[in-house]
């Protein structure tokens, strides 16, 4: 059975995806079981949305991290995959993080970060798509 060697970058993003996935499950569970003791239905919905987006994109980050190990050497595809990994990570933190902050801190201080997070997630998906289009056989 062939052995696969993962780069430091790939291992880093797999670890990030794992922690983001675990924390998404925790936030989702809290939204379903504990948040109703003090938060409105609208706030609970915001946490559920943040957890859902976080979990979906953590799984995507995991898959793209593994895909990253397929690309070797310097190429536009490799650069786009790396950019996609960073955009997924920062997008999750900005989008979901700002919604968590809104609910748990009770302030709209970071409300303008939410659309930035969404834009970063869109960029992550586009970079992944372009990386596949530019991939050489």
Domains (range + CATH), the chain: 8-134 (1.20.120)
Q: What is the pTM (predicted TM-score) of this model? A: 0.93
Whether 54 and 19 have beta carbons less than 8 Å apart is answered as no
How many CA atoms are closer than 13 Å to the CA of 80, on its beta-carbon side? 15
CA distance 137 to 135: 7
- pLDDT for 75: 85
- Contacts of residue 67, defined as CB under 8 A and 6 or more positions apart, other chains included, come to 81
- pLDDT for 111: 87
Neighbours of 77 (CB within 10 A): 21
Please check the confidence at residue 72 and state whether its pLDDT lies above 90. Answer: no
Ramachandran angles phi, psi of 73, nearest 5°: 75, -175
CA distance 19 to 132: 27
Whole-Å CA distances, 31 to 38, 59, 91, 100, 131 = 11, 20, 21, 11, 36
Joined tokens for residue 42 = 């609208």
pLDDT band for position 129 (50/70/90)?
Answer: very high
pLDDT in tens, 85-104: 999 999 999 999 999 999 99
pLDDT band for position 56 (50/70/90)?
Answer: very high
From 50, 55, 60, select the one nearest 124 (Cα to Cα).
60
Write out the DSSP string of 41-69: HHHHHHHHHHHHHHHHHHHHHHHHHHHHT
């Amino acid at each position: 059975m062939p052995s696969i060697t993962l780069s430091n970058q790939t291992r880093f993003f797999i670890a990030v995806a794992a922690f983001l996935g675990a924390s998404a499950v925790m936030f989702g569970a809290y939204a379903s079981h504990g948040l109703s003791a003090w938060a409105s239905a609208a706030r609970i919905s915001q946490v559920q949305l943040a957890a859902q987006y976080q979990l979906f994109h953590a799984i995507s980050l995991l898959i793209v991290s593994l895909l990253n190990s397929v690309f070797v050497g310097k190429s536009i595809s490799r650069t786009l995959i790396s950019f996609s990994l960073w955009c997924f990570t920062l997008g999750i933190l900005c989008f979901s993080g700002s919604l968590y902050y809104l609910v748990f801190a009770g302030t709209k201080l970071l409300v303008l970060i939410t659309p930035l997070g969404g834009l970063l997630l869109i960029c992550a998906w586009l970079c992944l798509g372009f990386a596949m289009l530019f991939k050489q056989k």
